[in-house]
A and B are shown apart, each in its own frame.
Chain A
Amino acid sequence: MTAEKLLMRNFDRADSHTLEAYRATGGYTAWPKAQALDPAAIVEEIKQSNLRGLGGAGFPTGTKWSFIPKNHAGPVYLVINADEGEPGTFKDRYLLERDPHALIEGMLVAARAIRSARGFVYIRGEYVEPWRRFAAAVREAYDAGYLGRGFDVVVHRGAGAYICGEETGLIASLEGKKGWPKLKPPFPAIKGAFGAPTIVNNVETICHVPHIINRGAAWFAALGTKTQGGTRMYSVSGRVKRPGVYEASVAITLRQLIYDLAGGVTGNGRLKAVVPGGSSAAILRADEIDVTLDVDGLRNAGTMAGSAGVIVMDETVSIPEALMVVARFYAHESCGQCTPCRESTGWIYKMCHRIVEGRGTKDDLDKILDVARRGAGTTICAFYDGAVGPYISYIEKFRSEFEALIPT
């Protein structure tokens, strides 16, 4: 179940972030192999591995890479999304701090696959230590000759906006503009950063790539489910005995993660609800946790794997208060570009706040549900749909708790 650790295999070493430690544990052995492969062969290998994006959307990575126009003449960019901002998620931080060379090696391979000569790593502004560690690793990689010979890496720090973790918001921010998601089409693979074809991948996704090259797509695919290969890092927080980051197969269940890996529920010890994939994922009740944590497993359960930020709530947690906190987050982080999101995230927060304060009215719950449904699917990016997940699921699954707060 817990299988072998790939991403976190070196985390126990105090010097795991150094080039020396990375090399000593088999690092930079995939890159020479990839150099012997055709770019198309690398893309095919990644497709076969069933690696899916681990930043939130779960899109098949190899397929994404194949969208780069074949005979493009100008530059192609590889952008790494290290803007980890999804509430409940803190895995990329560990990777940047403790195994930065895995990301660099993964980038080298990915860049070869998409024929990119320049990569950008967009690091969340608040991630100071991860940035220091990663920037130091980049310098080591230049000194060692991994970088600077056909592939360069630019490290860019964000300035503190959740929306800059959205693929095209990130690109806009990287370009020096306000972090507003861009209209699609054109898609980034056709016209992305600075107008060039661009692939944006999450840190963890790219850290998997050297392992796939080293050990083969079939091996990686076999670690997971039929439609998603490998392991992933689960960020477990909330009312559990051992909160933290756990690497395990994408095929484990939520119950196994909470009880076997994270040591079970604290608080009053009785599980009430779990958010399985970061704050944008729909909430699950205690009786809904026998579900595998792969992209399709959670989709079939009506929620999403997202960034695998698992937030555990015991029975003492107030769901209306939890929704108010989540709603405040989305109201604060909406970029304000699209009308439905800009206007209704604030409105819904106000309604949630009023309910928690005991000033709700009997129409409020249906109003929130209706407003959320009307706005869903009408915006440029997925931010609002991410907010709608909690709005609707918290109320639908725990309606009586909300109603109890509304004066009759």
Chain B
Amino acid sequence: MPKLTINGREVEVPAGTNLIEAARALGVEVPHYCYHPGLSIAGQCRLCMVDIEKTPRPTIACNTLAADGMVVLTETERVKETRRSIMEFHLINHPLDCPVCDQAGECWLQIYYMRHGLYDPRMTDEKVHKPKAVPLGPHVILDAERCILCSRCVRFCDEVTGTGELGIFHRGDQSEIGLFPGQELANKYSANVVDICPVGALTERDFRFAVRVWYLDVTKSVCPGCARGCNVEVHVNRRRPHHNEGRRVARLKPRFNADVNKWWICDAGRYGFKAVDDKTRLREPFRREAGTVTDASWDEAIAAVAGALERYAPDEVGVLASPRMANEDLFALRRVLERRGIRRVAFRVPPAVDGDQDEILIRADKNPNARGAELLGLDGDAAALLAAARARQVKCLWIFDHDLLASAWPEALVLGALGAVETLVWVGANANATSERAHWVLPAAAWVEREGTYTNFEGRVQRLRQAVEPLGQALPEWEILGRVLEALGAGARPPRAERWFRELAAATPAFAGLSYQAIGDGGQMVRA
């Protein structure tokens, strides 16, 4: 492990660490554009210059590996002057259209100009003009005039997805990012180029002109789109409710996790948040009798569900849990099942089409918490449950989230089962064809509206955090189930998700020793 000195402070870093990362280890920022830790070294923005003892002139830090005894200075007058020069070169042909640029507020040209530039502009000649507002694919739009040609997007498509749609065309100050002939930037990870674009050249078509980034609040969470559990940031627009067409969640951004998703998320996950502010969201509990819908209070709804559980024999009750429920919800459900001695439980409903999977992030299982449901002992035979309902052995069917009519099961079989049961209770966030047939519909909080944990396919327990208030009267499932438990006479329910998790960890060997604190931002593995 080489030991070197940066700005007079010693630091030891693993062999192969470059000077940007070595400086970062000391909390020293070396400004850079083209360097990205997830991509190969390009060395072309020329901003990351530092002084190295015995080197005649400033050297790029990205392509210089830390060496034993190296003495590095990142803030000499010469380095600062070089940075100012490089910033000027980056900006002479930039359109400076920050007032209409989505990137404004999170643009590294703005940030570094304020930190390291602050020169007096002296470019008086006509700037180079290039294509603007060019759609590159379904999610990404290019403004070539804003581009600083750092090549991160090109390297992403070459090195991470291996799809190679993008190149840098022409030469000199006519150079521009573009698609190879016949190509479209439509790979399953395309919008990551927007995240790694340090400027406003690549922006999201979905987020375009939606809301200014400085109005967004950021919450750390986990993508519910598949069994990977990519770490994300939920960007919420609370402060300008009249922007973004009233949608509260403005966008998702990947959050670095070395063990799960590195710097990336897939497009399906990135744009999977739309259901949160969708018109299918359920806001109040209601009952449906002979086709007539009547609003109900939570007290009425809980009393009805608890009453049904008590009215029927345990063997007459079937529960279809969901791998989209959090560990806390599933544990609370297990408590309910244990309390009533209900055995008919399952959670796997076969999807109508098999999910896609790749070697990068995407998993075929499009549920975030199938592993958690397994570990919590809820794995049963869902088809047998359905058959029992059809055979009128199950008289009360309690379904979480699923739309059985959108599954691989034949519609006739599903309709037969749903029509056969006396009491159909459905809990979930968004109405679907199955909830349309339920006698009781209980609105659940969406994943961004609540606390909880998912266990990903590798067994990593990760936290989702509340970014916005639940819509209407919606409640997290653990709260709904806690109220049912109380109504069943189980005593006071845990008041928070964290308390539920504490009970879960104490009662479930795989989760032993875990807590929200231990899980932290990066997650923790369950016991093998």
| Residues of chain A at the chain B interface (Cβ within 8 Å) | 161, 163, 178, 183, 185, 331-340, 342-347, 350-351, 354, 361, 363, 367, 374-375, 377-380
User: Which residues does chain A contribute within 8 Å of B44, judged by CB atoms?
Assistant: 337-339, 380
CB under 8 Å from chain A, chain B span 164-180: 167-168, 170-175
> Across the interface, do A377 and B57 meet the contact criterion of CB distance under 8 Å?
yes
Determine which of B45, B124, B167, B173 lies in contact with A336 in the assembled complex, contact meaning CB atoms within 8 Å: B173
Beyond A336-B149, A350-B126, A375-B85, 6 additional pairs, beta carbon < 8 A: A183-B41, A336-B175, A339-B149, A347-B173, A350-B125, A378-B85
Are B46 and A336 in contact, with the CB atoms below 8 A? no
Contact B46 A378 (CB under 8 A): yes
Return the CB mask of B152-192 against A: 1 if under 8 Å, else 0: 00000000000000011011111100000000000000000
80-127 of chain B: CB within 8 A of chain A = 81-82, 85-86, 88-90, 92-93, 122-126
Asked if B337 is at the interface (CB within 8 A of a chain A CB), the reply is: no
Closest B residue by C-beta to A335: B171
- Residue from B88, B128, B171 within 8 A of A333 (CB atoms): B171
Q: Are A338 and B92 in contact (CB under 8 A)?
A: no
| Contact status A339-B171, CB under 8 Å | no
In the bound assembly, the distance between CA atoms of A374 and B83 in angstroms comes to 10
Inter-chain contacts of A375 with B (CB < 8 A): 85, 89
Would you give the shortest CB distance from A368 to chain B, in whole angstroms?
11
- Chain A contact residues: helix, strand, loop or mixed: helix
- B173 contacts A183, CB within 8 Å? no
A331 to B173, Cβ gap below 8 A? yes
Closest A residue, CB atoms, query B128: A346
Specify which of A346, A363, A378 is in contact with B172 (CB 8 Å cutoff): A346
| C-alpha gap A377/B46 in the complex (Å) | 11
* Complex CA–CA separation, A151 to B265 (angstroms): 50
Q: Could you tell me if A343 and B85 are in contact, using CB atoms closer than 8 angstroms?
A: no
Out of A332, A340, A350, A367, which one reaches B171, CB within 8 Å? A332
Q: How far is the CA of A178 from the CA of B173 in the complex (A)?
A: 16
- Within the complex, what minimum Cβ distance (angstroms) separates B386 from chain A? 58
Q: Which residues of A contact B63 (CB under 8 A)?
A: 183, 185
Taking the complex as formed, is B389 at the interface, i.e. its CB lies under 8 A from any CB of chain A?
no
Q: How large is the interface on B (under 10, 10 to 19, 20 to 34, 35 or more residues)?
A: 35 or more
B92 to A347, Cβ gap below 8 A? yes
Chain A residues contacting B172 (CB-CB under 8 Å) are 331-336, 342, 345-346
> How many Å from the CB of A128 to the closest CB on chain B?
23
B481 within 8 A of A: no
Task: Evaluate contact between A346 and B173: CB separation under 8 angstroms.
Answer: yes
Q: List 11 A-B contacts (CB under 8 A).
A: A178-B167, A183-B43, A333-B171, A336-B168, A338-B44, A340-B86, A342-B89, A342-B149, A342-B172, A345-B172, A374-B81
Distance A178 CA – B148 CA, assembled complex (angstroms): 18
A338 contacts B46, C-beta separation under 8 Å? yes
| Least CB distance, B316 to chain A, in whole angstroms | 70
Query: Is A342 in contact with B175, judged by CB distance below 8 angstroms?
Result: yes
With a cutoff of 8 Å between Cβ atoms, the chain B residues found around residue A334 in the complex are: 171-173
Given the interface contacts A374-B85, A378-B49, A379-B46, does A347 sit within 8 Å of B123 by beta carbon?
yes
Residue of A with least CB distance to B171: A336
Contact partner, A178, options B125, B168, B174, Cβ 8 Å: B168
Would A343 and B171 be within 8 Å (CB), given that A350-B125, A351-B125, A380-B44 are in contact?
no
Is there contact, CB below 8 Å, between A339 and B170?
A: no
B302 to chain A, nearest CB (A): 64
CA gap between A361 and B167 in the complex, in Å: 38
CA distance A197 to B436 in the complex (A): 70
A333 CA / B148 CA spacing, docked (Å): 18
Q: How far is the CA of A377 from the CA of B122 in the complex (A)?
A: 22
B86 touches A378 (CB 8 A): yes
What is the CA–CA distance of A350 and B127 in the complex, to the nearest angstrom?
A: 10
**Contact call B46/A340, Cβ cutoff below 8 A:** yes
In the assembled complex, the CB of A366 is this many whole angstroms from the nearest CB of chain B, namely 10
Contact between chains at B57 and A340 (CB < 8 Å): no
Kindly list the 9 A-B residue pairs having the minimum CB-CB distance in the complex, ordered from nearest.
Answer: A336-B175, A346-B173, A334-B172, A374-B85, A350-B125, A343-B89, A183-B43, A337-B44, A339-B89
Q: How far is the CB of B71 from chain A (nearest CB, A)?
A: 19
Closest CB in chain A relative to B309 CB, distance in Å: 68
| Best-buried of A185, A342, A354, A363 by chain B (most CB within 10 Å) | A342
Query: Which residues from A are CB-within-8-Å of B168?
Result: 178, 336
Q: What residues of A have a CB within 8 angstroms of the CB of B122 in the complex?
A: 363, 367
Q: Is the CB of B174 within 8 A of A336?
A: yes
How distant is the Cα of A314 from the Cα of B168 in the complex, in angstroms? Answer: 42
CB distance from A190 to the nearest CB of B (A): 14
Q: CA separation between A332 and B43, bound complex, in Å?
A: 22
Q: Find out whether the CB atom of B173 lies under 8 angstroms from the CB atom of A340.
A: no
Instruction: List, in ascending order, chain B residues with CB within 8 A of A333's CB.
Output: 171-172
Most B-side CB within 10 Å, residue of A185, A338, A363:
A338
A331 to B172, CA, bound (A): 6
Residues of the A chain whose Cβ atoms lie less than 8 Å from the Cβ of B125: 347, 350-351, 354
Q: Which residues of B contact A331 (CB under 8 A)?
A: 172-173
Residues of A within 8 A of B49 (CB): 378
Question: Which residue of B is nearest A348, CB measured?
Answer: B125
Question: Is B175 in contact with A339, judged by CB distance below 8 angstroms?
Answer: no
The reply to whether B43 and A340 form a contact with Cβ atoms under 8 Å apart is: no
- Minimum CB distance partner of B174 in chain A: A336
**Bound Cα distance A253, B510 (Å):** 86
Contact B46 A339 (CB under 8 A): yes
Q: How far is the CB of A317 from chain B (nearest CB, A)?
A: 25
B141 smallest CB distance to A (angstroms): 22
Distance, CA A350 to CA B172, complexed state (A): 13
CB distance from A315 to the nearest CB of B (A): 30
